[in-house]
Amino acid sequence: MGKRVAIAPKLTIKAGERIALRDGVYLAGSGILSIGDRTSINAGCIITAIDSVSIGADVMLAPRVYVLDVDHRFDDRSKPISQQGYLVDPVVIEDEVWIGANSTITRGVRIGKGAIVGANSVVTKDVEPYSIVGGVPAKQIGERPK
């Protein structure tokens, strides 16, 4: 485990074997975070699980990836956003996924097995297995060879 890893006291972690948490990783929330075998979470990543975030086996999160199963509500103009509460929806990152540096994975997203998320992307919709996505918002830009 890297130096200066912060883990929220109410977060439940279900961890596989040979997981790497690099320097400055922040694990937050009060839900369940599942991490599969041989997964690497690089420096500066932030993962927030208010309900649940599931990260499969052999997953690579590059530096400064954000994974969040929560977002602020903002549908009532009569109240400040800070007083409207939250929307929560689980995130699932299946096995063998590679997420590029500085990417954000938003609530309710499922990233399919073997997919690649390009650096600096914002993933707001499900990603098909073995596809390559990138951009803001992320869109499919390719597919891994068979």
Instruction: Output the pLDDT for position 1.
Output: 59
Q: What is residue 68's three-state secondary structure?
A: strand
pLDDT in tens, the chain (146 residues): 556 677 888 999 999 999 999 999 999 999 999 999 999 999 999 999 999 999 999 999 999 999 999 999 999 999 999 999 999 999 999 999 999 999 999 999 999 999 999 999 999 999 999 999 999 999 999 999 98
Location of structure tokens 């995130």: 91
Name the burial class of residue 82, with classes exposed (0-12), middle (13-18) and buried (19+) by CB atoms within 10 angstroms of its CB: exposed
Catalytic residue numbers read: 72
Cα–Cα separations (whole angstroms), residue 92 to 42, 49, 85, 109, 131: 18, 11, 23, 6, 16
CATH level 3 topology of 6-73+82-143: UDP N-Acetylglucosamine Acyltransferase; domain 1 (2.160.10)
Pick the closest to residue 122 from 52, 80, 68 (CA basis): 68
Query: What is this structure's pTM?
Result: 0.94
Backbone angles phi, psi at 115, to 5 degrees: -75, 160
